[in-house]
């Protein structure tokens, strides 16, 4: 795996028994002990994730606010310093370039967090779209490391390491401060559906910070959590994953995250196509399902309508450790979405029970 990129915590993971795999060109821990047990630890106590592969971009300048509002589908004008917003950014046809977090640090100073597999594509897209706006776009992905501490005990654990008043940082807000002596963007966000923090920091500080969090978390039952459990946690929460529920050919409306598309704001890339989709209806839609069966319904499995014809395909599928049954998402013909859907797994027809996510009761703060 010598060609793979590494986060500063790669050796830390190996020393903690991680199984390292290629994820989007990065050598990342998929699990330490057990994907199922790591998932449960996050729901019950807390988990520490290395998400240092994610990309970071600075967007600065007098035109930054207008540029970002043109770029993404959600309403960036609602931001104020210390506030974060989740948004897709779309192509003119309404397909998704990527989904990202937009942080407003100060007027004219914004910070984006983007998916690891999309960094080069996104930065090129941002620079192209920035033409004509008074902004500078700087890829900071090589400067930042990122860990997430997630779960009902996350706040108690992080609070032991910082003088920042974490109670004052509400969900989808952030503050800058030190955690275990390391300067961090302390962001009350995550990808698990639990309360928790994402801590952006300089790469050189990553090992010290991770070890401090591990030590502080041990009495609370904090566990290291790999990308395997990260995927089942986000699917239980009903959060989209780029390349699965949202993609260049799956719009945010099709994906069921229309709340992130503000058609009433000023013009933005993809608005006309998304308005047409909203007006005319989309031919396909993303649905979430559970099956009452433990057999995992894997991505790309054909979805069958009541008459046995293929009406769609599975986008994501895993076993929910909390529900102890298969859960997933699928892209299906809109005309079939209210009717019985099933998949054939090794000769057994398994019926979908459609679910409006989240699949589990979430305890994230608000």
Give the residues lining the site for other proteins (CB under 8 A): 19, 31, 34-36, 228, 232, 294-296, 298, 318-319, 346
CA distance 72 to 277: 17
- 223-224 and 47-50 beta bridge pairing: parallel
Nearer to other proteins, 36 or 123 (CB): 36
- State how far the Cα of 312 lies from the Cα of 333, in Å rounded to an integer: 6
The least CB distance from residue 315 to other proteins, in Å, is 17
Q: Which is nearer to other proteins, 38 or 69 (CB)?
A: 38
Q: How far is the CB of 320 from other proteins (least distance, A)?
A: 10
Rounded Cα distance between 200 and 233, Å, is 21
Residue closer to other proteins, measured from CB, 275 or 299 = 299
Backbone angles phi, psi at 193, to 5 degrees: 85, -5
Least separation in angstroms between residue 54's CB and other proteins is: 22
Kindly state the smallest distance separating residue 33's Cβ from other proteins, in Å.
Answer: 10
For helices 35-44 and 227-237, give the axis angle rounded to 10 degrees. 50
Q: How far is the CB of 335 from other proteins (least distance, A)?
A: 31
Task: For residues 331 and 342, give the distance between their C-alpha atoms in angstroms, rounded to a whole number.
Answer: 13
Tokens of 155: 């706040």
Tokens in use for 237? Answer: 């929460």
Tell the smallest beta-carbon distance from residue 11 to other proteins (Å).
21
Exposed, middle or buried by CB within 10 Å (0-12, 13-18, 19+), for 345? middle
90 versus 227: smaller Cβ distance to other proteins: 227
Give the separation between CA 353 and CA 239, rounded to whole angstroms. Answer: 18
- Of residues 165 and 294, the one with the C-beta less far from other proteins: 294
Kindly tell me which of 38 and 195 has the beta carbon lying closer to other proteins: 38
Among 102, 109, 230, CA closest to 174: 102
Residues 336, 338: Cα–Cα separation, whole Å: 6
Shorter beta-carbon distance to other proteins: residue 299 or 333: 299
Q: Exposed (0-12), middle (13-18) or buried (19+): which is 259, by Cβ within 10 Å? A: exposed
Q: How far apart are the two ends of the chain, measured CA to CA in Å?
A: 41
**Closest distance of CB 211 from other proteins, Å:** 26
């Amino acid at each position: 795996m010598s060609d793979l990129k590494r986060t500063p915590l790669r050796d830390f993971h190996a020393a903690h028994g991680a199984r390292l795999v290629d994820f989007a060109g990065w050598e990342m821990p998929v699990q330490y002990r057990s994907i199922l047990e790591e998932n449960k630890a996050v729901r019950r106590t807390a988990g520490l994730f290395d998400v240092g592969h994610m990309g970071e971009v600075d967007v600065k300048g007098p035109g930054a606010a207008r540029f970002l509002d043109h770029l993404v589908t959600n309403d960036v004008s609602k931001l104020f310093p210390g506030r974060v917003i989740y948004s897709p950014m779309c192509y003119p046809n309404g397909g998704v370039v990527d989904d990202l977090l937009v942080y407003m640090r100060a007027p004219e100073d914004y910070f984006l967090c983007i998916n690891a597999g999309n960094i080069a594509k996104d930065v090129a897209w941002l620079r192209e779209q920035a033409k004509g706006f008074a902004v500078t776009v700087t890829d900071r992905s090589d400067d930042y490391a990122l860990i997430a501490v997630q779960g009902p005990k996350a706040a108690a654990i992080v609070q032991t390491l910082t003088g920042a008043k974490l109670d004052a940082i509400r969900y989808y807000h952030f503050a800058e401060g030190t955690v275990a002596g390391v300067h961090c963007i302390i962001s009350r966000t995550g990808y698990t559906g639990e309360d928790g923090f994402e801590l952006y920091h300089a790469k050189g500080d990553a090992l010290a910070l991770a070890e401090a969090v591990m030590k502080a978390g041990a009495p609370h039952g904090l566990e290291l959590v790999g990308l395997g459990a990260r995927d089942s946690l986000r699917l239980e929460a009903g959060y989209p994953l780029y390349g699965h529920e949202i993609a260049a050919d799956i719009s945010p409306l099709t994906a069921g995250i229309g709340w992130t598309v503000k058609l009433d704001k000023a013009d933005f890339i993809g608005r006309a196509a998304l308005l047409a989709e909203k007006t005319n209806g989309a031919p396909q839609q993303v649905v979430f399902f559970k099956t009452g069966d433990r057999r995992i319904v894997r991505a790309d499995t054909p979805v069958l309508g009541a008459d046995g014809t293929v009406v769609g395909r599975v986008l994501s599928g895993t076993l929910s450790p909390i529900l102890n049954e298969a859960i997933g998402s699928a892209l299906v013909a809109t005309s079939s979405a209210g009717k019985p859907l099933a998949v054939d797994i090794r000769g057994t027809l398994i019926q979908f029970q459609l679910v409006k996510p989240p699949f589990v009761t979430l305890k994230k703060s608000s």
